[in-house]
Amino acid sequence: MNDYAGKTIWIIGASSGIGRALAVEMDRRGAMLILSARSEDKLTALNNSLGGRHRVCAIDVTQEKAVKDAASDVFKSKVDSVIFLAGIYQPAKLSALDLELCKDILATNLGGAFNVIAAILPYFPAQIALCASVVGYRGLPNAQPYGATKAGLINLAESLRAEMRGTGIDVRLINPGFVSTPMTAKNQFPMPMMIEPEAAAAAIADGLLNKSFEIHFPKRFTWLLKIARFIPDRLYFSLVP
């Protein structure tokens, strides 16, 4: 894709946070949108704020049949890009997990991505983008099970990219740093170099137009965490707070 004018973008996880901001950004750039999340009311309100010109398709990504049915309907027309941003976050110590919430996070963040990929691959979309996080680079305290799902999404995107080579499907990985959203508002620790959702949305929209596999931002923060992946284990664990 060279720009978004006349393109159709399916944003899954569009009701709040980065997904909502991306919908606003893509609308501004001329894209036609399919807006998905669990909350139909929030999606409808978003669509109304954008002039009502887009399509609302409420789905729960944990429900395999619902996702397949939605894909079957959505792909009756051409879809240029599918962006998976659905996610749940709750910071927790592994020694004090709420297992029911843990299962919901796993089913949404990682299981939901598998459901979406299985549903859309038969239609050969031009582009698939999965949103993980830099928290998936290395294990961090109080980050589970969210961090595990994001590490899984990074691996999933890499595997999908390798398997789709030569098919014409452009696979992308999105790894944000700290973005000011209802999710990060739950954190009780310093979040360096935090950016607003609008800045994140602009970075994603720009990144999907270039050729890089991974879209990560803000760069001055994410490059530090990339370097941390190569620090020897003994040193890394001595530095983790």
Per-residue pLDDT tens digits for 135-193? 999 988 888 899 999 999 999 999 999 999 999 999 999 999 989 888 887 877 778 88
> Is 3 a member of any domain?
no
> Is 103 a member of any domain?
yes
> What's the rounded mean pLDDT across residues 199-225?
95
User: Does the pLDDT at position 2 exceed 90?
Assistant: no
> Is 197 a member of any domain?
yes
> Is 119 a member of any domain?
yes
Boundaries of domain holding 61: 8-239
> Is 1 a member of any domain?
no
What is the pLDDT at residue 193?
Answer: 86
Query: CA angle 167-19-70, nearest 5°?
Result: 55
Q: Which residues are catalytic?
A: 146
pLDDT per residue over 59-76, tens digit each? 999 999 999 999 999 999
Q: How many domains does the chain have?
A: 1
pLDDT per residue over 106-124, tens digit each? 999 999 999 999 999 999 9
- Sequence-ordered list of residues with C-beta below 8 angstroms from that of 124, at least 6 positions apart, any chain: 167, 168, 169
> What's the rounded mean pLDDT across residues 32-60?
98
For the chain, the average pLDDT equals 94
CATH number of the domain that residue 97 is part of? 3.40.50.720
> Is 148 a member of any domain?
yes
Would you say the pTM of this structure is higher than 0.85?
A: yes
What is the pLDDT at residue 183?
Answer: 81
Question: Token pair of 52, please?
Answer: 């009502």
> Is 116 a member of any domain?
yes
Q: How confident is the model at residue 93 (pLDDT cuts 50, 70, 90)?
A: confident
> Is 118 a member of any domain?
yes
45 phi, psi to nearest 5 deg: -65, -40
Which among 226, 214, 174 is positioned nearest to 19, based on CA atoms? 174
